Homo-oligomer: A and B are copies of this chain.
């Protein structure tokens, strides 16, 4: 257990109650200001902490941190330093902000490296190399299978034997707060003889978590479930925006393409696996027994609360989903062991998303497709209007947090507003 996880730690910095970012979290991100180029930062309470400046001031003395890794548009070079270094940075930050220690006099120089979060721009923290999307929630897979195929055989034969996944588009992964335009494309109505072209009518979100690769492999290498966590630097909230009408027409036989590639929204903070370590829980029992390369030991799921709100342009919003990452049938270690079993190599900056995270209860379904059951049961908003899918002007807001023994480790927000078709 690293020091930063101590629930008794308190900071000299004022941290609002219920903040996602106590000094037990210490996530990593990239910020810029009007005057200043992008830099690596962390967040404590309502402050963004400039780690490049702290390094200049000598606070990371004894840790081998090449300057350009912190004055950087992306976290990739920082992550590539390895967990022994990035852990040392996290522990040092914890000490520097610790109320009881104060031995480096960080508080006295705080105005040089602290920024109010409202005063900076948070950027996409990772240069995403390859992006893979899994499909690892059994409730989601069953819901989709029941809707589009056969409720009695909702799962396809391979589903319980391997974590089904597919390659996604990396270029269109954007940071929370970036608006998206409703995509246009081809779709075909059930009774039409040919497809038509226009704005998507069935724009949806998918509530997911993503993990980021911090250690590369060579082509031909495999990563076992027991070693997988060495390769996972941390996690983010992930909204896998989906245009259901475009997807339905295009996806046979080679999978989703333009129905997904117009945008995916991630939260700006990469929360380390170390930070959420105290929240490990057992995953669901897997039956039938998996093949040996997918077996694992220990608790690999996390009790991580998730929520989705729809916020209309005017009036009150509504929470449409409350789910939990612990529902995942396939865990991240299994996903990574499967991903590499054929020798596929990993790069620092690869991102793997979980697939929609749905639970058993209807209020835990992670997409409008499931929540409204293909639009047949619309959601009523506080102003009386209905939503089958997402309207122009709506903002979709995702949040995630672990909470136990008075400590809350949060992921911040993945938020995106839908603008009309461009």
Q: Is A220 an interface residue (CB 8 A)?
A: yes
Chain A positions 219-270 with a Cβ under 8 Å from a chain B Cβ: 219-220, 243, 246, 249-259, 261-263
Bound: A350/B258 CA distance, A:
16
Q: Is the CB of A343 within 8 A of B181?
A: yes
Bound: A67/B277 CA distance, A:
47
Q: Specify which chain B residues have a CB less than 8 angstroms from the CB of A249 in the assembled complex.
A: 158, 162
Q: Specify which chain B residues have a CB less than 8 angstroms from the CB of A344 in the assembled complex.
A: 169, 171-172, 258, 261-262
Q: Is A347 an interface residue (CB 8 A)?
A: yes
Q: Is the CB of A171 within 8 A of B347?
A: yes
Q: Is the CB of B254 within 8 A of A181?
A: no
Which of B130, B181, B246, B292 sits near A170, CB closer than 8 Å? B130
Q: Specify which chain B residues have a CB less than 8 angstroms from the CB of A402 in the assembled complex.
A: none
Q: Is the CB of A183 within 8 A of B291?
A: no
For A185, A250, A342, A345, which residue has the most chain B Cβ atoms within 10 angstroms? A342
Q: With A130-B171, A167-B167 in contact, do A342 and B246 touch (Cβ < 8 Å)? A: yes
For A184, A246, A250, A347, which residue has the most chain B Cβ atoms within 10 angstroms? A250
Which of B166, B169, B339 sits near A254, CB closer than 8 Å? B166
Nearest Cβ on chain B to A328's Cβ, whole angstroms? 17
Chain A positions 175-194 with a Cβ under 8 Å from a chain B Cβ: 180-181, 183-186, 188, 194
Q: Specify which chain B residues have a CB less than 8 angstroms from the CB of A246 in the assembled complex.
A: 342
Q: Is the CB of A167 within 8 A of B261?
A: yes
Q: Is the CB of B243 within 8 A of A342?
A: yes
Q: Is the CB of B257 within 8 A of A167?
A: yes
Q: Is A174 an interface residue (CB 8 A)?
A: yes
Chain A positions 67-107 with a Cβ under 8 Å from a chain B Cβ: none
Q: Is A12 an interface residue (CB 8 A)?
A: no
Bound: A284/B127 CA distance, A:
40
Q: Is the CB of B197 within 8 A of A258?
A: no
Bound: A149/B346 CA distance, A:
35
Nearest Cβ on chain B to A210's Cβ, whole angstroms? 15
For A174, A293, A345, A346, which residue has the most chain B Cβ atoms within 10 angstroms? A345
Q: Is A393 an interface residue (CB 8 A)?
A: no
Bound: A107/B167 CA distance, A:
49
Bound: A257/B293 CA distance, A:
17
Bound: A343/B197 CA distance, A:
14
Bound: A312/B117 CA distance, A:
63
Q: With A246-B342, A342-B258 in contact, do A167 and B169 touch (Cβ < 8 Å)? A: yes
Residue of B with least CB distance to A345: B171
Q: Specify which chain B residues have a CB less than 8 angstroms from the CB of A162 in the assembled complex.
A: 186, 195, 249-250
Nearest Cβ on chain B to A152's Cβ, whole angstroms? 17
Q: Specify which chain B residues have a CB less than 8 angstroms from the CB of A422 in the assembled complex.
A: 220, 343
Residue of B with least CB distance to A355: B254
Nearest Cβ on chain B to A289's Cβ, whole angstroms? 10
Q: Specify which chain B residues have a CB less than 8 angstroms from the CB of A194 in the assembled complex.
A: 161, 288
Bound: A422/B221 CA distance, A:
8
Q: Is the CB of B186 within 8 A of A219?
A: no
Nearest Cβ on chain B to A411's Cβ, whole angstroms? 23
Nearest Cβ on chain B to A271's Cβ, whole angstroms? 24
Bound: A291/B185 CA distance, A:
10
Q: Is the CB of A164 within 8 A of B254?
A: yes
Nearest Cβ on chain B to A39's Cβ, whole angstroms? 23
Nearest Cβ on chain B to A164's Cβ, whole angstroms? 6
Q: Is the CB of B255 within 8 A of A174?
A: no
Q: Is the CB of A129 within 8 A of B170?
A: yes
Residue of B with least CB distance to A170: B130
Q: Is the CB of B258 within 8 A of A338?
A: yes
Q: Is the CB of A291 within 8 A of B197?
A: yes
Pairs across A and B, CB under 8 Å, 8 listed: A162-B186, A166-B167, A167-B168, A172-B343, A183-B343, A184-B341, A219-B263, A343-B422
List of 3 A-B pairs having minimum Cβ-Cβ separation, nearest first: A255-B255, A183-B342, A167-B167
